[in-house]
Amino acid sequence: MTTPNLAFGILQEAQGQSAVSDFIVYDSLGVPLNVRVTATLEGRTNEQTIYRWYADSAENQPISGTDIAVGTGLLYFDGNGNFVSATNDSIAIDRVGVPSVNPLQFDLDFSQVSGLATQEASLAATRQDGSPPGVLTSFVVGEDGTLRGVFGNGVTRDLGQLQLARFANPVGLESRGLNVFAKGVNTGLPVQGAPGENGIGGVIGGALELSNTDIGKDLVELVMASTQYRGNSRVITTSQQLLDELLNLRR
């Protein structure tokens, strides 16, 4: 066996470094998709440094073929390493054969990336607006009356807005029971709005006003507790009398 001489005598080293970042995106059905973004040095001029970024996704499902490339573009940095512009910042992942929105399109924000020379280049996705499916775990009420829901995937969303009303003559409200009142003939027209608007009262989250106490229900429970206590005390007194009689019989 002989080794042919291919005349490869010069080894060309790479100019600059490449940086790689892996992150997960979610389609319209909440299916997680892996995406890898790689940035490499494209060229230098007297005024700027140019990098090219590539985006690949193994979950890309085109109509034909097995292409995993989902986006590419150029990044421009000035002489201070500050980001100047990008020729393209969007990624499109084909979702053929999946009942989600096709293609999945989203934008990359390169404004926080710098082109400074370092020993080891790095590229990381620090924030995204996508999330996996989640369920409502709790909610909070703000001072402005906004109901904000907290979901199991860490996302918070506004669920609704409380509306309050005031009347010129609140004494004329008609009681409907269970501390519920309705507009009466002498109350006047209601003035509706958000908490704090048009002279309407405010909202304190997690607090319970004294006016929300059902006095009738509390009085009934108090009488029942008193009766039960009195009955239990009679049982104890009777038991003590029986024990005393038993002791007297021995004597």
> By the 8 A CB rule, do 80 and 97 touch?
no
Strands (E) across the chain are located at: 19-26, 32-44, 49-56, 69-77, 83-86, 90-93, 104-107, 136-141, 146-151, 156-161, 164-166, 174-177, 180-182, 191-193
* Rounded distance between C-alpha atoms, residue 126 and residue 158, angstroms: 24
Give the closest residue to 165 by CA, choosing from 203, 201, 208.
201
In percent, the amount of the chain with pLDDT more than 70 equals: 90
The band of 192, judged by pLDDT with boundaries at 50, 70 and 90, is confident
Closest CA to 62 of 92, 38, 23, 30: 92
Query: Is the pTM value of this prediction over 0.85?
Result: no
The answer to whether residue 86 scores a pLDDT higher than 60 is yes
Strand partners, 78: none
Q: Residue holding tokens 């409502």?
A: 136
| Residue 151 contacts residue 134 (beta carbons within 8 Å) | yes
Contact 182, 167 (CB under 8 A): no
- Sheet architecture: strand order including 156-161: 136-141, 146-151, 156-161
C-alpha 153: how far from chain center: 6
The predicted pLDDT at position 13 comes to: 63
Q: Report the run of H or E that residue 240 belongs to, with start and end.
A: helix 215-250
How does pLDDT run across 7-47, given as a tens digit for each residue? Answer: 656 665 656 678 888 999 998 888 899 999 999 888 888 88
- Report yes or no: 164 and 193 within 8 Å, Cβ to Cβ: yes
Return the domain boundaries, the chain. 19-107, 137-210
